Structure 1
Amino acid sequence: MSVSLSLSLTESPAQPSSPASIKGFVKNSNGEALVGATVGIAALNQFTLTDARGAFQLTEVPAGSYTVTVRYVGHEDAVQTVTVSHQTTHAHFVLQESTRELSEVEIVGKTDTQLAREQPIKAEIISTRAFAMQPATLSDLMNRTAGIRVRQTGGLGSYANLMLNGFQGQAIKYFRDDIPMDYLGAGYNFALVPVNMLERLEIYKGVLPVRLGADALGGAVNMITKRSYAKHAEASYEIGSFNTHRASVNLYYQDTIRKFFAGADLFVNYSDNNYDVTVDVTDEETSTQRKEEVKLFHNTFKHYYGEVYGGVTGTRWADELRLSITGFWLHRDNQYGATMDQAFGAATSRQYSVIPTLRYKKSFLNKRLQLDQFLVSNTIYTEQVDTVRGTYTWHGVFKPNPARRGEMTPQGTRADTEFSYFTSRTNLAYRVNDRHRLELNVVYMTLGRIGRDPLGLTFAASGRDILSVPADYDKLVAAAGWESRFLDGRITHELSGKFYRYETRALDADYEGDEINRSLTRERWGAAEAIRYTFRGNSFIRFSAEVSTRLPEQGELFGDGNLRVSNFALRPERSTNFNLGYRLEKRHRYTLELNSFYRITHDLILNVPYNLLLNRYENVNDVRGLGFEADATVSVLSWLKVNGNFTYQDFRMFDTHNKLTEDARLRNTPFFFANLGLTTAHTNVFRPGDKLQAFWYYSFVREYYLDYVPRDREPGGLLGLWGKAKFATDNIIPNQSVHTVGLTYFPVKKFSVSAQARNLLDADIYDNFRIQNAGRSLNLKLTYIFL
């Protein structure tokens, strides 16, 4: 079940006198109660859900006139203006079944709630409801969104890095239901989670809401999991090219009085990833290299994820108490490294964990003060095995070499590492009145690392295994915010401040002398302001600015005990960001959104070579740039919707003290990309009550560069959008055009079958440092809703 909310204020509420309440029922046209319908008043920032009888109650409502809006998936919105003048006011709603549910394909800029759409902080909200039945991935949906590109180093299960308005890597933070996702390791991320497991994706560009307490430099992704408010059971199975299989099960139960709930989310990913790539192959006779198309042969990925949870709601001592146990296990065959220069045929890696979590929510002071507490403590186990004595060719031929202990590196590895996590996230929100709200969010994290690798690197003086020495990392991020509304809600602003602190305790792995105890503490402050002004006619303008900090991560400071060495001299990244945007919407007809941004970043942390064998993270760059993006969606006909967007961003180096890199574009970063999509929806096609949806998506990425290129060597066309670059083509990732087409058919309401052809024309697709992704692939997905 997918629940979304749309609210609008018609009159300014009067100053509060004695608070009252609004009670009522929500039913469908047949008189049946709608469980889990969303009821809300935007002016008071108050929302609730209907219970098993379809009943709702909004409490602490000051006297005045309000627009109360009800929304329920598959039904038209119902709106009433309710005047509150005594203790209890009654309002009842009857929702009509929607005929537009299938056609409302929301690609970008569409939100499940009006508040998310109209917040001062810039965000893209991707509703997964329209795509839940398709064999689409979250990476697909994100790549169709303005300002966003997913940088995936191969097929299913490969490393996925998000680029967001020029920022990428650790500068972007990831959350699950407002909680930082570090404790989930590689077991849960947007490249692996099935679309139908989520309610929506919230993608923030620049400033973050206070509730997302993190040291993000340029934005964040918040994955909102699917929530049902009645008994629900759904299963899906997908099969695709390269022996790809994906299955998911979503279960939810709640008792009739809505006091106890339980559920489970389970999914499996598997793929051989044995697609064709073009690589440099060495001729055995001449020792020269030539381009040749080969099939990947050691690229299998297996992944199992399961979460069971239960709890209580609506008690005197808890609004919600939720306990969950999560487990995951993944196995990856390593076919190549950071580039596709060399094939591997035996190296593997694994990761697994069992994770208990607790979340507690409670309201105090007549629901003016709200507490949300999350706790987790777990250990993630990782294994890396590289012990074959020799190397492999791209044709899968093994060449023995007794002098080697591994194929990826001459010394090999047999590393077992344990990462222990503890995370506490505390959120307090206090509603002063209908115009002002205060919020405090504190996230405290500890991370410990210990392991062993009999083949790994050692300290030069003692000979001790580097991984066997404990390394500890503590981080605290505290944020406080003030949200206000003025001029009858036409002006909304959010002012926030942040405090960042981290502490490390480890031995310095410089490999050059005695072991040195390192204890380091750094602190930083940050601030942000976001403001929105709403015009008449359902349009608004918003502006945000922030001074942000991104603290070095544990792996960047300590190294990995293998090929990446430590660097305790790392400084936090610092960035000043500005966003200015405008949005216009005519419900069910069109939307238009324009956004511009400016970034200036100091001490950017990048992984660079340390010597011929090793690498480490260093503060190497100062970067500044600006960008512009536009997005539009138009309902051309009742059954046809068109969406398009483009992004241009110009990020360049400065103060490099190097003529070759000064004013050069940020390497390995696309600067122009665009999308176009058509979707159609039809009913009663082959039988009464059936539904058929067809879709076509086109994606274009302008050529960009593997390394820094002097500005005078770039194409001479306007903004570099056409023309030829004046340097060797090996340093260019070429223009890329990708077409995706598909059909989704609902023969009955609870069953669907969907087919999709991704990369229909079998174009060559490249990503991080010219790693080639899969060509044309065909996928079939079956979904059945049991309850």
Structure 2
Amino acid sequence: MSVSVFLSLTQSSAQQRSPTSIEGSIKNSNREALVGATVGIAALNKFTLTDAQGEFRLTAIPAGSYTLTVRYIGHQDAKQTVAVSSRTVHVSIVLEESTSELSEVEVVGKTDTQLAKEQPIKAEVINTRAFAMQPTTMTDLMNRASGVRVRQTGGLGSNANLMLNGFQGQAIKYFRDDIPMDYLGAGYNFALVPVNMLERLEIYKGVLPVRLGADALGGAVNMVSKRSYDKYAESSYEIGSFNTHRASANLYYQDTTRKLFVGADMFVNYSDNNYDVTVDVTDEETSTQHKEKIKLFHNTFKHYYGELYGGVIGTRWADELRLSLTGFWIHRDNQYGATMDQAFGASTSRQYSVIPTLRYKKSFLNKRLQLDQFLVNNTIHTEQVDTVRGTYTWYGTFKPNPARRGEMTPQGSLADTEFSYFTSRTNLSYRIHDRHRVELNVVYTTLGRVGKDPLGLTFAASGRDILSVPAEYDKLVAAAGWESRFLDGRMTNELSGKFYRYETRAMDADYEGDEINRSLTRERWGVAEAIRYTFRGNSFIRFSGEVSTRLPEQGELFGDGNLRVSNFALKPERSTNVNLGYRYQNSKRYTLEINSFYRITHDLILNVPYNLLLNRFENVNDVRGLGFEADATVSILPWLKANGNFTYQDFRMFDTNNKLTEDARLRNTPFFFANLGLTTAHTNVFRSGDKLQGFWYFSFVREYYLDYVPKDREPDGLLGLWGKAKFDTDNIIPDQSVHTAGLSYFPVKKLSVSAQVRNLLDAGIYDNFRIQNAGRSLHLKLTYIFL
């Protein structure tokens, strides 16, 4: 094997033996960067892929001597012995082209993304780095995954509700780097974070890993932050239709000792969101309603986010100590409410916070015991302004009404509320020996709410502002797990148990008399099991099941002091989930995955009307159902790849004591959706070393229903996949087909220009409770890597 290897090592004679890193670049014989080369150390089961500059980094490498393996299709493998001490090792490797046939090349290394996909616990893993240069959104990427639908109530900045295998809302929990994200409020979520800010997105359906400590029924989303290099600086700017602007910047720096680091992440989102929608408007002369296309006029969204961080790594007293200070500010014009029945023209809402956090990681007992501790304490401020004495029409015309103090509600609002958060997350992992590992994860959260609203609701007897009475909520979720490997690693078993506890202290807002102090404590237990068995070759089968609990959240128990009243009688949701799946991967040509799932949920918590004006959360339903999903990726040609998936889920009500709703589909929930995609990649198109990528995506959602519909009124076609429903079309969210296409061009390795057209055919798109989303839009994005 003919390989040229250039190796430079910068090492210290210090006696310290903390984990360090190996980094460097991989090039071909023409000194061109090789993108996607596999680099790893098999003895440690650590692998990664080179980035767009042909660079890589392997972190947390214990001191010792290792064989570094590099593989790239069409090139000869390279192996290099690397000695690791207390300093970062720098490697530069050149691969020679292989004269053997492509079919003889086998890549055995696996990236963190690949490893996450192959765990016993099922996860949809989206490699966001592959889309970092495109003017796409996290919502677009998630909607292309099987079993996943994002329910968005409008354009950029609107509320986004994720649905996983039939579950949605608070049944799904959100994490950032394994930490619950509640303390970030609306400032950091998947609908707003630029794609190039993340390394990958992990979407768990049903059972969760022990390290994600949460009371989730339907699954969780873990947003894994982008990994940085010693010196790194990148910026991007996107402009789009409806006066949309999105900008981001990432900075990271390590000093020459490789012990100290500092960094910054920043992004901005802005949009007028003034797209066309079709709504019911009232004729001024006849007072009759008719449908008409109008342009939204009070729908602006502004969002600023910044994070500064720094710390130390690789010292005797800390593998990593990271301090960060995060700030965000959001302004939203409210054009409509939960539905598009009424236009608003002046109401606004704001949210902002400054958030200090600390994270500490340390290994003990010769790296067998790992500690990961996270702490945060902050306050999120929210403001709701609704003081217009009158109402607006969809044409933007204002109609004065002195009897009103607000347009959204007759009494109006000047609510100013503070939500305080304290979260402690402790994770301990101990490797008993190579085949057995135990883990403990404890998340303790304290939340408080206090505020004021001179126009808001009051207690009937005392007249006190409801928001001015403090409400407190404490939650503890503890999980313990045992991971075991058998049959030479071909079988992996993960057994875990969970303990849930919450306590509330608040004033009951029943609006019927004297104030009543309420305190409540509830406790529950849960258990989960996940098994993966690997067959000979590149295929495996996995099974998981759990009995889980979802505790009521603060807002569901306390209300919001405005239109949502309290309900301290809420019981936790209970669910039994079972998953069975099979995955086969041929690294040269295709990947196929098939999964099935069954869910049965009791005491489902939903927001329902309380009277003509107010609403509250109640335990109203029991739901059960099953579903199937399939996902495939095929390399048709060296430069052309295709992928597709579909999801069918049949979730229905039971024990409702109502003939109309018994065995009816879960309302406002899609039951069939599918995706197709084509991507191309070309090099040396207009100049030597440039790259051109093309992409086309198609998404289809079968019609579904706003409300519960008797089963005999559903379409007669097999599984409801074709035919027409036998009831009023106003209750139907129709079939939807959306095409998206674009191009990305890399004239040089540090610069990219990408254009994309969403909803190419300008189809009518309707989402949560039939709120209409934007039609055709054009987006252009520029990305430049400084270092």
Q: Match of 2:758, as an amino acid?
A: R
**In the aligned structure 2, how far is the partner of 1:448 from the partner of 1:630?**
43
Instruction: Sort the Cα spacing of 1:54 and 1:425 in 2 relative to 1 into closer, same or farther, 3 A.
Output: closer
Q: Match of 1:128, as an amino acid?
A: T
Offset from partner CA, 1:71-97 (integer Å, 9 cap, x none): 89x99896869999xxxxx99994649
In the alignment, structure 1 residue 28 sits paired with structure 2 residue 26? yes
Q: Match of 1:189, as an amino acid?
A: N
| Matched residue, 1:6 | none
Instruction: Sort the Cα spacing of 1:69 and 1:441 in 2 relative to 1 into closer, same or farther, 3 A.
Output: farther
Offset from partner CA, 1:424-477 (integer Å, 9 cap, x none): 000000011110000000000000000000000000110000000000000000
| Matched residue, 1:142 | 142
| Matched residue, 1:176 | 176
8 Å Cα contact 2:46-2:58 kept in structure 1: no
In the alignment, structure 1 residue 166 sits paired with structure 2 residue 166? yes
Matched ranges for 1:237-636 at <5 A: 237-636=237-636
**In the aligned structure 2, how far is the partner of 1:478 from the partner of 1:81?**
44
Instruction: Sort the Cα spacing of 1:165 and 1:49 in 2 relative to 1 into closer, same or farther, 3 A.
Output: closer
Q: Match of 2:550, as an amino acid?
A: R
Offset at residue 115 of structure 1 (A) = 2.4
3-state SS in 2 of match to 1:740:
strand
Q: Match of 2:736, as an amino acid?
A: Q
3-state SS in 2 of match to 1:540:
strand
3-state SS in 2 of match to 1:779:
strand
Offset at residue 256 of structure 1 (A) = 2.6
Q: Match of 1:219, as an amino acid?
A: G
Q: Greater shift after overlay, 36-45 or 383-392?
A: 36-45
3-state SS in 2 of match to 1:294:
strand
3-state SS in 2 of match to 1:482:
strand
Offset at residue 130 of structure 1 (A) = 1.4
Offset at residue 153 of structure 1 (A) = 0.1
Instruction: Sort the Cα spacing of 1:24 and 1:501 in 2 relative to 1 into closer, same or farther, 3 A.
Output: closer
8 Å Cα contact 1:24-1:56 kept in structure 2: yes
3-state SS in 1 of match to 2:185:
helix
Q: Match of 1:742, as an amino acid?
A: G
Offset at residue 589 of structure 1 (A) = 1.6
Q: Match of 2:702, as an amino acid?
A: R
| Matched residue, 1:689 | 689
Q: Mark the runs of 5 or more structure 1 residues left unpaired by the alignment.
A: 1-20, 85-89, 100-109
Q: Match of 2:628, as an amino acid?
A: F
Offset from partner CA, 1:29-82 (integer Å, 9 cap, x none): 589999x999766676668999x99898954999xxx9975689x998968699
Offset at residue 218 of structure 1 (A) = 1.0
Identity %: 84
8 Å Cα contact 2:642-2:678 kept in structure 1: yes
TM-score with structure 2 setting the length: 0.91
8 Å Cα contact 2:47-2:112 kept in structure 1: no
**In the aligned structure 1, how far is the partner of 2:555 from the partner of 2:576?**
25
Q: Match of 2:408, as an amino acid?
A: M
**In the aligned structure 2, how far is the partner of 1:469 from the partner of 1:527?**
37
Instruction: Sort the Cα spacing of 1:296 and 1:536 in 2 relative to 1 into closer, same or farther, 3 A.
Output: same
Offset at residue 114 of structure 1 (A) = 3.6
Offset from partner CA, 1:531-575 (integer Å, 9 cap, x none): 000011111000000001100000000000000000000000010
TM-score with structure 1 setting the length: 0.91
3-state SS in 2 of match to 1:361:
strand
**In the aligned structure 2, how far is the partner of 1:451 from the partner of 1:272?**
30
Offset from partner CA, 1:213-261 (integer Å, 9 cap, x none): 0001110000001111220100000000000000000111012331011
| Matched residue, 2:194 | 194
8 Å Cα contact 1:458-1:464 kept in structure 2: yes
3-state SS in 1 of match to 2:186:
helix
Q: Match of 1:421, as an amino acid?
A: Y
**In the aligned structure 1, how far is the partner of 2:414 from the partner of 2:26?**
61
| Matched residue, 1:236 | 236
Instruction: Sort the Cα spacing of 1:425 and 1:38 in 2 relative to 1 into closer, same or farther, 3 A.
Output: farther
Matched ranges for 1:736-751 at <5 A: 736-751=736-751
8 Å Cα contact 2:28-2:94 kept in structure 1: no
Q: Match of 1:702, as an amino acid?
A: R
Instruction: Sort the Cα spacing of 1:260 and 1:702 in 2 relative to 1 into closer, same or farther, 3 A.
Output: same
**In the aligned structure 2, how far is the partner of 1:724 from the partner of 1:225?**
45
8 Å Cα contact 1:22-1:61 kept in structure 2: no
Offset from partner CA, 1:718-752 (integer Å, 9 cap, x none): 00000010000000000000000100001111001
Offset at residue 129 of structure 1 (A) = 1.4
**In the aligned structure 1, how far is the partner of 2:350 from the partner of 2:633?**
43
Offset at residue 98 of structure 1 (A) = 11
| Matched residue, 1:13 | none
**In the aligned structure 1, how far is the partner of 2:82 from the partner of 2:323?**
40
**In the aligned structure 1, how far is the partner of 2:164 from the partner of 2:253?**
37
3-state SS in 2 of match to 1:577:
strand
| Matched residue, 1:709 | 709
3-state SS in 2 of match to 1:116:
helix
Instruction: Sort the Cα spacing of 1:77 and 1:609 in 2 relative to 1 into closer, same or farther, 3 A.
Output: farther
Q: Match of 2:295, as an amino acid?
A: K
Instruction: Sort the Cα spacing of 1:698 and 1:77 in 2 relative to 1 into closer, same or farther, 3 A.
Output: farther
Instruction: Sort the Cα spacing of 1:509 and 1:353 in 2 relative to 1 into closer, same or farther, 3 A.
Output: same
**In the aligned structure 1, how far is the partner of 2:765 from the partner of 2:211?**
37
8 Å Cα contact 1:112-1:127 kept in structure 2: no
3-state SS in 2 of match to 1:186:
coil
8 Å Cα contact 1:26-1:55 kept in structure 2: no
Q: Mark the runs of 5 or more structure 2 residues left unpaired by the alignment.
A: 1-18, 84-88, 99-109
Offset at residue 588 of structure 1 (A) = 3.9
8 Å Cα contact 1:165-1:649 kept in structure 2: yes
Q: Match of 1:231, as an amino acid?
A: K
Offset at residue 488 of structure 1 (A) = 0.6
Instruction: Sort the Cα spacing of 1:56 and 1:287 in 2 relative to 1 into closer, same or farther, 3 A.
Output: closer
Offset at residue 675 of structure 1 (A) = 0.2
| Matched residue, 2:11 | none
Q: Greater shift after overlay, 23-32 or 604-613?
A: 23-32
**In the aligned structure 1, how far is the partner of 2:243 from the partner of 2:74?**
39
**In the aligned structure 1, how far is the partner of 2:22 from the partner of 2:614?**
67
